[in-house]
């Protein structure tokens, strides 16, 4: 222990049978001094249970005397690589924290105020599973990061994986790792993300696309937070929070046989549903101005404000791609244009069209309404019916169900709508 401060090793070879005591308590002392140090326990007793106990206490590996020199060299090499991986992981975690703190969950609308309150409560809780639902571009990844960095786990790793980006066997290997010799190309032990982010948070994006076989293994892990590496026989225990996200309707996926119902109930112990940008009122302009400042600084431009008419059009557009679309539009405009004010002529055609075509329009934010702009209730209802018909491709039966009225009731309301849906005149049935 006296040598640790001066030597600061990457790997410690620790015999359990020491002249002045037992080596087991030293494992924890070493890891308190530096959690990145890899400890290889050496015991003369040949006791498998003792070796497993040492691994549970935090040892990286254990060897039984007598051992071959090649065996020792391999163990040290693996431990040194694990140390270097941990150092890189720590650097990655610090960088991710810096990136997150440069971003924000922006919003003052009632749906966002409620969401931010729930995020804060979930982050401070002991919930081990959180399910985030919402359309693409609503900010599910940012919410996952807010939960992690707002919790006591913030100094431990946050690891992210997109479940749709891996084949079944590769995803299992990515999550749970493998033992040396588990398959032909497994020349050395590999720790999976579950093991690497012990103490932290694992974010599984697009969880609805996870293969059924991997879903079964994830469910078993969630039951007691233990797992086996591929090709391994020892149960390993970790402590982490699993945050999952999807833009799909999991009830529909369950009915289609694509998602396990028991896993769904295990994941949704705590669930959050993110509002669409079009349902967040004045937040649209609030977010647009925030991104204008961010990209103005990034690209060293001179934009100071958004012109009132441009702001009205930004506020009126439907934003089917949600916050992600808004961000991409602002980034492109600031990058390509040179001005001090973001004007109507800078905006893409589809946003300019929002001022003229109801198919592209939503309710205008309150700050943009003048006395003459206040819509009547009949106009609001007509606009909403148009949007729902667009959403259903003109299918009136489906639209009536979504609106919560009878099909005949929908027909009665459509009699007063002069332009039922201009963009889908040919598709209305």
**Mean pLDDT by groups of 10 residues along the chain of 429 residues:** 80 85 84 84 73 82 84 87 71 55 74 92 93 94 91 89 87 89 78 90 95 94 90 88 95 94 94 93 93 92 93 90 94 94 92 68 50 64 77 78 79 62 41
DSSP structure class, residue 348: -
Domain 103-273 has CATH 3.40.50.300: yes
Q: For residue 272, what are the β-bridge partners? A: 132
Q: In terms of CATH, what superfamily is 375-424? A: Homeodomain-like (1.10.10.60)
- CA 295 and chain centroid, separation: 23
Query: Which residue pairs, CB below 8 angstroms and at least 24 apart, start in 345-349?
Result: 346/310, 347/310, 347/313, 347/314
What does DSSP assign to residue 418? S
Q: Is the backbone peptide bond immediately before 207 cis, with ω within 30 degrees of 0?
A: no
pTM over 0.75: no
Q: What is the pLDDT of residue 426?
A: 42
Q: Which long-range contacts (CB under 8 A, 24 or more apart) does 344-350 make?
A: 344/307, 344/309, 344/310, 344/313, 346/310, 347/310, 347/313, 347/314, 350/317
The span from the CA of 399 to the CA of 415, in Å, is: 15
C-alpha span between 120 and 143 (Å, rounded)? 10
| Radius of gyration of the chain measured on its C-alpha atoms | 28
Q: Identify the pLDDT of residue 144.
A: 93
CATH architecture of the region 2-90: 3-Layer(aba) Sandwich (3.40)
Domain regions of the chain by residue span: 2-90, 103-273, 277-371, 375-424
Q: How far apart are the first and last CA of the chain?
A: 80
Sheet of 271-273: strand order equals: 158-162, 201-205, 241-246, 129-133, 271-273
b/e code 77-114 from CB counts within 10 Å (16+ = b): ebbeebbeebeebeeebeebbeebeeeeebbebebbee
Q: Are 194 and 254 in contact (CB under 8 A)?
A: no
**HSE of 166, CA atoms in CB hemisphere, 13 A:** 20
User: How does pLDDT run across 2-17, given as a tens digit for each residue?
Assistant: 788 777 888 999 888 7
pLDDT of residue 361: 53
What would the CATH number be for the domain defined by 277-371?
A: 1.10.8.60
Closest by CA position to 308, among listed 289, 291, 324: 289
Per-residue confidence (pLDDT) for residue 427, from 0 to 100: 43
Q: Quick check: do 2-90 and 277-371 share a fold? A: no
Residue 46 is predicted with a pLDDT of 58
Overall size of the chain counted in residues: 429
């Amino acid at each position: 222990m006296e040598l640790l401060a001066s030597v600061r090793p990457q790997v410690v070879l620790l015999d359990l049978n020491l002249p002045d005591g037992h080596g087991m308590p030293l494992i924890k002392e070493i890891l308190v001094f530096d959690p990145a140090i890899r400890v290889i326990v050496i015991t003369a007793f040949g006791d498998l249970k003792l070796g497993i106990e040492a691994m549970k206490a935090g040892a990286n590996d254990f060897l039984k005397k007598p051992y071959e020199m090649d065996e020792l060299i391999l163990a040290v090499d693996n431990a040194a690589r694990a140390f270097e991986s941990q150092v890189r992981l720590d650097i990655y975690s610090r960088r991710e924290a810096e990136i997150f703190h440069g971003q924000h969950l922006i919003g003052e609308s009632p749906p966002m105020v409620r969401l931010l309150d729930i995020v804060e409560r979930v982050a401070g809780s002991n919930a081990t599973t959180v399910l985030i639902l919402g359309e693409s571009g609503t900010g599910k990844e940012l919410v996952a990061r807010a939960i992690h960095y707002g919790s006591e786990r913030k100094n431990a790793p946050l690891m992210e994986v997109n479940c749709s980006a891996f084949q079944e066997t590769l995803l299992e290997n990515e999550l749970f790792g493998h033992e040396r010799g588990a398959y032909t190309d497994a020349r050395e032990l590999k720790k999976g993300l579950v093991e690497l982010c012990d103490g932290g948070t694992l974010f599984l994006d697009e969880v609805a696309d996870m293969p059924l076989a991997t879903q079964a293994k994830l469910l078993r892990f969630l039951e007691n937070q233990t797992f086996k590496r591929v090709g391994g026989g020892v149960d390993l225990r970790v402590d982490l929070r699993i945050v999952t996200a999807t833009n799909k309707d999991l009830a529909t996926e369950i009915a289609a046989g694509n998602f396990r119902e028991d896993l769904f109930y295990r994941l949704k112990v705590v669930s959050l549903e993110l509002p669409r940008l079009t349902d967040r009122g004045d937040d649209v302009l609030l977010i647009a101005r925030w991104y204008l400042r961010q990209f103005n600084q990034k690209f060293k431009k001179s934009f100071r404000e958004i012109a009132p008419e441009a702001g009205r059009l930004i506020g009126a557009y439907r934003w089917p791609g949600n916050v992600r679309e808004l961000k991409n539009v602002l980034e492109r405009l600031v990058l390509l244009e040179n001005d001090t004010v973001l004007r109507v002529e800078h905006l893409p055609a589809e946003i300019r069209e929002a001022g003229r075509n109801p198919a592209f329009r939503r309710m205008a934010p309150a700050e943009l309404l003048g006395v003459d702009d206040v819509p009547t209730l009949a106009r609001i209802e007509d606009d909403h019916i148009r949007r729902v018909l667009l959403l259903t491709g003109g299918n009136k039966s489906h639209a009536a169900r979504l609106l919560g009225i009878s099909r005949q009731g929908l027909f009665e309301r459509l009699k007063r709508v002069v332009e039922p849906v201009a963009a889908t005149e040919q598709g209305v049935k």
